[in-house]
Structure 1
Amino acid sequence: MTRNSIKVKRNHFIKWCSLFVTGLLLQGCTPSESTLEFEQTLFNQIFYEIVNASYKDKTYTSHCRTSEIITEKGPIIVYDDPECKEKFEALQKDTLHMVLAIADSVHMIYKDDIQFIPKNFKPSSSEKFKIDLSKHQYEKFDFKYLSELKPNDEYRNWEARYPKFIGELSFSKIYFDEKKQKAIMTIEYSCGSKCGLGYFAYLEKVNKKWIVTKVENTWTA
């Protein structure tokens, strides 16, 4: 065997080893990335359903001032500002393009809730991801990032900018069981200091497809 042939074989061996090691390194990175991508994909699949199950329509709550007048037939409620009443009644009839502020990114389940999560349910990773609202525009809702406008007292600034504003929603990461056949996440809805709801959303893989089996109200403010 000539020196040149030995040199060529050695170079091929070094190149093969280099590719093998690189492949192992890439393989080591893939699970984390694919796990986060999988969680994001699942979140996008169930987003509309869990939003629809957890928001409260504030257009049915009037902020117009009223007065009670005593009549022969008993007390009646009248609006102090007729114009305010007209706007409120118009909003009640218009149920499209309601504005919801969405927390920019998912969060880990909060301490107050984590105690109720079975210990075998864990987040697939500690990485958080930003919610891509461009994938979630529907006729019923107009989603806005919460960071667009820092909420002030009772969300008055949001209501001033968006007359059809109905509140804020935030979501936790999805926590899976060991077999990745079931999952749990939390949802928080807020529309004021004394207006809020909390939920557990239960997910399950049925016939190779993830579905929302239940959205349970866990607290009310």
Structure 2
Amino acid sequence: MKLLKLTLLIILFASCERKISDLEFEKNVMTEILPSLIDSTCIDRRIMLNFPPKYGESIYDKEGHYIGVDSTKATQEEKENLLKWEKKNLEIEKDTSKIIVAFKSKIEFEKEDVESYFESHFKGAKIYKTKPEENPEYILDFQKIKLESKFKLKDISEFPKTDKIWDTKYNFNFSGVVYFSKIQFDKDKKFGILNGGFWCGNKCGQGFRIYIRKDKNKWQIDKVEGTWIS
């Protein structure tokens, strides 16, 4: 009986060690890959909202279907507006001030079943399935992660809730909200898949399916696919 109890305790301890190991492993991968995730999904909202002006006359076929634009028929006013638009874009691109992005630091499970996408992209690899209680959600300590780009993350809890986040006036260049799901790996932890999204307004945003792989002991993004757009 004592031997049985000891055996059960060893099994239980080993199981707990594995759970902790799986969670810490994912945290380490997310920490390593986060700068690349931000660069691949976030945008400068000012450029997106700086819409190009009308330039030229629209061309339609005999059935009234739109074909394109004849830019040779642009008016002088349209030419001037285009120059202003290009100048504005250039000013934004040259602006060295940080672009602030609200980050959802709680990394949660994605409801979408991504197994078929994973196995289609990484031929021969299969997702290693774990139960939520075996690999729980967690808070990513992103403040210690250095970003190489001009994006800077602030926890979403520091911003107004719901739609007020877009109506509030900030004393910094606020660009949007970004989030990522937990990573699902293969058994050997050489490949991974996660979902993410970037919101730039109430009806402005885009979703992503992100494939990552380990190459020469470093994790890197293998491919980013668009999943939805608003």
Give me the TM-score of the superposition, normalised by structure 1: 0.71
Distance 1:181 1:55 in 2: 26
One-letter code aligned to 1:56: I
Question: In structure 2, which of residues 191, 199, 214 is the aligned counterpart of residue 182 of structure 1?
Answer: 191
Alpha-carbon deviations, 1:180-213, whole Å to 9, x = none?
Answer: 2211111111111221111111112233433221
Query: Corresponding residue for 2:94?
Result: 93
Report whether the alignment pairs 1:166 with 2:175.
Answer: yes
Distance 2:15 2:229 in 1: 44
Query: Corresponding residue for 1:193?
Result: 202
Conservation of the 8 A alpha-carbon contact between 2:177 and 2:199 = yes
Question: In structure 1, which of residues 127, 142, 145 is the aligned counterpart of residue 155 of structure 2?
Answer: 145
Query: Corresponding residue for 2:23?
Result: 36
Deviates more, 1:29-38 or 1:173-182: 173-182
Query: Corresponding residue for 2:85?
Result: none
Q: Which has the larger radius of gyration?
A: 1
Conservation of the 8 A alpha-carbon contact between 1:183 and 1:203 = yes
| Distance 1:152-1:73 versus aligned 2 partners, 3 A rule | same
| Distance 1:177-1:152 versus aligned 2 partners, 3 A rule | same
Offset at 1:134?
A: 1.6
Offset at 1:20?
A: 7.0
Query: Corresponding residue for 1:51?
Result: 38
Offset at 1:214?
A: 1.5
Query: Corresponding residue for 1:83?
Result: none
Distance 1:103 1:184 in 2: 18
Distance 1:143 1:125 in 2: 30
Query: Corresponding residue for 2:167?
Result: 156
Equivalence map 1:56-135=2 (5 Å): 56-62=43-49, 73-75=76-78, 92-111=93-112, 114=114, 117-118=117-118, 120-122=126-128, 124-126=130-132, 127-135=136-144
Alpha-carbon deviations, 1:160-192, whole Å to 9, x = none?
Answer: 124311111110110112332211111111111
| Distance 1:123-1:186 versus aligned 2 partners, 3 A rule | farther
Offset at 1:141?
A: 2.2
| Distance 1:34-1:165 versus aligned 2 partners, 3 A rule | same
SS state at 1:33 partner: helix
Equivalence map 1:12-31=2 (5 Å): 23-31=10-18
Alpha-carbon deviations, 1:56-109, whole Å to 9, x = none?
Answer: 211224579x9xxxxx7345777xxxxxxxx99865532442101011211212
| Distance 1:58-1:45 versus aligned 2 partners, 3 A rule | same
| Distance 1:102-1:190 versus aligned 2 partners, 3 A rule | same
| Distance 1:51-1:125 versus aligned 2 partners, 3 A rule | farther
Give me the TM-score of the superposition, normalised by structure 2: 0.68
Which consecutive unaligned segments of at least 5 residues does structure 1 have?
1-13, 67-71, 79-86
Distance 1:165 1:205 in 2: 33
| Distance 1:186-1:54 versus aligned 2 partners, 3 A rule | same
State the number of aligned residues.
Answer: 194
